């Protein structure tokens, strides 16, 4: 009974705070780093710019300006390079479905503009991926480095603009670093690390909160005060 009361109070507290849904889209500039078992990195590997979309929910917690968010994202990452010695051309294009959890804090506000900082993480599962070597295309869904869950940690900052009392638009930058993806069955390439610069444009819309219903006594008191 005591636990039920605590959960009820917590739910009531959360639901009384500001709640929002958001949608954002933008660009991922990803950086792949392959390292073999001798500690050597694959050279001449260049970043690729891909798009992504995210949709989620956030609500204010504890204090004004502090928000927690959950979201689902669809991310595209890639890299391109060549080996002048072997005269090889290679390219990766991979897509991940991500589940995100984050925090953001409004540092200051001037007029309708607010500056905020953010941090969070995501767990991402690869839905599709190919590697191109010269004119040959290979599916990498079963490659050891890519078939594991990828974990990313993000931090960034953004500028938010109040369109109206219930809608906001924002622009943000974030950098994500992924935990190393290992291939213990391959003698040449054993580790992949992905870093991502993200530029995003998004919109947030407030969710109307249920207003507290007045009791008959409160209604009568309000009417007397009005008269």
Average pLDDT over residues 73-92: 86
| pLDDT attached to residue 214 | 46
Where is mean pLDDT largest: 5-9, 80-84, 154-158?
A: 154-158
pLDDT value, residue 75:
96
Domains of the chain: 18-226 (2.40.160.20)
Query: What is the rounded average pLDDT of the residues 5-26?
Result: 63
From residue 172, how far is each of 24, 137, 149, 160, 163 by CA, in Å?
Answer: 10, 35, 26, 8, 16
> What's the confidence (pLDDT) of residue 13?
44
Q: What pLDDT shows up at residue 2?
A: 47
pLDDT for res 89? 86
Burial class (CB in 10 A: 0-12, 13-18, 19+), 71: buried
Q: 169 pLDDT exceeds 90?
A: yes
**Residue 213 pLDDT:** 45
Mean pLDDT of 34-50: 84
* Structure confidence at residue 12 as a pLDDT band (50, 70, 90): very low
* Average of per-residue pLDDT across 31-51: 85
Per-residue pLDDT at 207: 86
- What is the pLDDT, as a whole number, of residue 210? 58
Structure confidence at residue 188 as a pLDDT band (50, 70, 90): low
Give the percent of the chain with pLDDT over 90: 53
Residue-wise pLDDT for 145-160, tens only, equals 787 899 999 999 999 9
Average pLDDT over residues 77-101: 88
| Model confidence, pTM | 0.78
CA torsion sign for 205, 101, 156, 15 is: positive
Confidence of residue 18 (pLDDT cuts 50, 70, 90): low
């Amino acid at each position: 009974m005591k636990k039920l009361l605590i959960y009820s109070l917590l739910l009531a507290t959360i639901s009384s705070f500001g709640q929002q849904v958001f949608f954002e889209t933008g660009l991922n500039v990803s950086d792949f780093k392959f390292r073999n078992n001798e500690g050597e990195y694959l050279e001449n590997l260049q970043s690729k710019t891909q798009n992504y979309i995210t949709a989620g929910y956030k609500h204010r917690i504890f204090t004004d300006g502090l928000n927690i968010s959950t979201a689902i994202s669809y991310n595209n990452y890639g890299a391109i390079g060549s080996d002048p010695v072997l005269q090889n051309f290679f390219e990766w294009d991979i897509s991940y479905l991500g589940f995100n959890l984050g925090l953001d804090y409004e540092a200051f506000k001037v007029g309708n503009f607010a500056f905020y900082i953010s941090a969070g993480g995501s767990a991402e599962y690869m839905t599709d991926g190919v590697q191109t070597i010269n004119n040959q295309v290979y599916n990498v869904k079963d490659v050891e480095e890519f078939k594991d869950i990828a974990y990313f940690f993000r931090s960034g900052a953004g500028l938010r603009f109040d369109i109206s009392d219930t809608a906001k638009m924002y622009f943000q930058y974030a950098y994500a670093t992924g935990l190393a993806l290992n291939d213990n069955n391959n003698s040449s390439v054993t580790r992949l690390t992905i870093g991502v610069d993200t530029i995003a444009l998004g919109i947030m819309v407030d969710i109307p909160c249920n207003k507290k219903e007045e009791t008959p006594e409160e209604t009568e008191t309000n009417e007397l005060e009005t008269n």
